[in-house]
Every structure is written in C-alpha cells, then in structure tokens.
C-alpha cells in the first residue's frame, strides 16, 4: 500500500496483523460499543474484535529513504508467546517493496516500545548487528531520558537488545520532539503514550500527512477519544493529546496514517456530532 503526498511517497510494509492484542489494551471496546461505530468495519474482525496491524512506513523524499518504526523483529526473547523468537518475512517483504536494508538512510522511532524498535537490530552471521547499517537512528531526547530509569520487563529486554546497542554502535542521534528531519518531514510532539512520544508530519507541495505512532492505536479511539490504552504511561495526558490532535486535524485535507491501523490504514478526520470519524 502506497500514498503520495506532493513529491513524497509513503509505503506500508506489514510485519503482521492480529486480533488478539487490541481488546487487551483497550478493554473499553466492548462489542456493543464497537457495533455502534457505523464506519468501523475494516478495522475489526467478524466477532467485532479490534484488529491491529504492525507495520513500518517507508518515506521517500528528496532522494532520501526514511523508515518510521521497525516493528517487533525476529529472534528476540519476548514474554508475549506469539512474539517470542518470532520468525516473520519482514525483511523479505521490505525488499520486495523495493527497499534493501543498506538503502535506508534514517530510522525514526516514534517511541521505544517493543513493537516499534524490534528490527533496529537483527541476528546475522552469528551475531547481533544493526539492521540498517547506513542509517542514523533518531530518537526523541525526552523518550530516551525516560527509558534510562524504566524498563519493559513485561515484554523482555527491549531497550537492551534493540535500542542501547544502536547507541553503543554510534548510530543514534538524540533530537528534539519537533525536530525537522528534511524540508518535508518533521517530528510532532504527541506525549502521553510515552513521555517523549512523537508523530511524524509530512508536508509537500501543499499536501499534508501525519503518521500517528501510538498517540492513537485503533480507529475506535477516533470515535471515543477519551479511551486510553493500558499501555499508556500517562493515560490522562494521552487522552488530552489525542483530543487536541483530533480537534486540530478534523475537517482538513490531511491524510492521517495510523501506525497500527489495519485495513485501509489511512484516511481523513471528520467531525461527527460531538466526536469524530475516519473517512477512508
């Protein structure tokens, strides 16, 4: 799946889709509440369970190739059984989309959770090494500061196996939460899910798009902005950030690309009575 924003091309590369995680992190999404959202069809399964997609978004701009979020990764020790020492075809699919690992020049991680940094490192030739050896890996400084005093033990040694080695290899750059990556791509601070969480804003030839990160996990949170997930570090701030985002971008010609949205993955935000809907 691809989108064109002015001179910028954005390509989705999916690692996996799942209906086993969404209702765990969004227990508010009961069958009756989900059934009341008349536009939610492509984002749920036949049992009205939330479907999440775990994918990267590759940005081609000004002759550069950037990748936003690197999913879960293979061979990693994870406490969630379906992700433990996972074997996916992610790298092959990335190559089939036209992107070899050596061609990626910048890796942007919206935050440092397990399903956004996994392919930062891979096991190759008997050792762990950076998956994208020619890239600079950009992390928001506030995000890195937070994880110095926290861990993700509930998922496994995420920081130690997928983030810290990038710093040790000299490939990481700490940047501000509003850092401009290129003339077309900048970060946008969207805290709450994690303290330094960022979204990615693309502007080219008068057209705009925003890659959400986990500021919103599932489109049902567009209908119910007050629903924060159990994975949010600060649920109250997450809800405030999401409400502000929806108010800012609703009824504007801005393509919103969901980092975990399955189905069509992207659409424009519209006001819908006292709430919002995704027009895809």
pLDDT at 156: 86
Contact 11, 97 (CB under 8 A): yes
Contact 137, 171 (CB under 8 A): yes
Q: How far apart are CA 186 and CA 150, in angstroms?
A: 27
Q: How far apart are CA 245 and CA 264, in angstroms?
A: 20
Mean pLDDT, rounded, for 170-187: 97
Sequence-distant (6+) residues with CB within 8 A of 104 are: 58, 65, 66, 67, 132, 134, 135
165 to each of 33, 71, 76, 182, 186, how far by Cα in Å? Answer: 43, 17, 14, 25, 25
Q: For residue 56, what are the domain limits? A: 2-279
CATH number of the domain to which 111 belongs: 3.60.15.10
By the 10 Å C-beta count (0-12 exposed, 13-18 middle, 19+ buried), 60 is classed as: middle
Number of compact structural domains in the chain: 1
Residue 25: is its pLDDT beyond 80?
yes
Mean pLDDT, rounded, for 182-190: 98
pTM above 0.85, yes or no: yes
Token couple for 203: 């502007």
Contact 36, 240 (CB under 8 A): no
Q: What is the mean pLDDT of the chain?
A: 96
Mean pLDDT, rounded, for 195-207: 97
Q: How far apart are CA 213 and CA 116, in angstroms?
A: 9
- For tokens 């979204």, the residue is 199
Give SS3 for 230: coil
- In this predicted model, what pLDDT tens digit does every residue of 229-260 receive, in sequence order? 999 999 999 999 999 999 999 999 999 999 99
Contact 13, 58 (CB under 8 A): yes
Q: pLDDT band at 170, cuts 50/70/90?
A: very high
pLDDT at 148: 83
């Amino acid at each position: 799946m691809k989108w064109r924003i002015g001179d910028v091309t954005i390509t989705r590369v999916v690692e996996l889709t799942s209906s086993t995680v969404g209702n765990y992190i969004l227990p508010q999404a009961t069958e009756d509440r989900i059934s009341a959202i008349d536009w939610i069809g492509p984002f749920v399964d036949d049992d009205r369970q939330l479907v999440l997609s775990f994918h990267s978004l590759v940005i081609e701009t000004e002759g550069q190739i950037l990748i936003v979020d690197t999913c879960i990764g293979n061979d990693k020790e994870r406490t969630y059984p379906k992700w433990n020492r996972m074997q996916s075809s992610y790298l092959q699919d990335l190559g089939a989309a036209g992107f070899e690992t050596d061609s990626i020049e910048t890796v942007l991680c919206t935050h440092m959770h397990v399903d956004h940094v996994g392919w930062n490192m891979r096991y190759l030739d008997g050792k762990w090494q950076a998956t994208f050896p020619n890239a600079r890996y950009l992390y928001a400084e506030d995000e890195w500061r937070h994880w110095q005093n926290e861990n993700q033990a509930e998922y496994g040694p995420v920081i130690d196996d997928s983030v810290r080695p990038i710093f040790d290899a000299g490939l990481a750059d700490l940047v501000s939460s509003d850092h401009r990556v290129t003339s077309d791509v900048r970060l946008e601070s969207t805290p709450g899910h994690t303290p330094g969480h960022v979204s990615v804003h693309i502007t080219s030839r008068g057209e705009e798009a925003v890659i959400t990160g986990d500021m919103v996990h599932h489109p049902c949170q567009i209908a119910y902005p007050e629903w924060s997930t159990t994975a949010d570090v600060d649920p109250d701030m997450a809800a405030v950030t999401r409400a502000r985002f929806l108010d800012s971008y609703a009824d504007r010609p801005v393509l919103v690309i969901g980092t975990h949205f399955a189905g069509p993955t992207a659409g424009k935000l519209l006001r819908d009575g006292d709430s919002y809907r995704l027009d895809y």
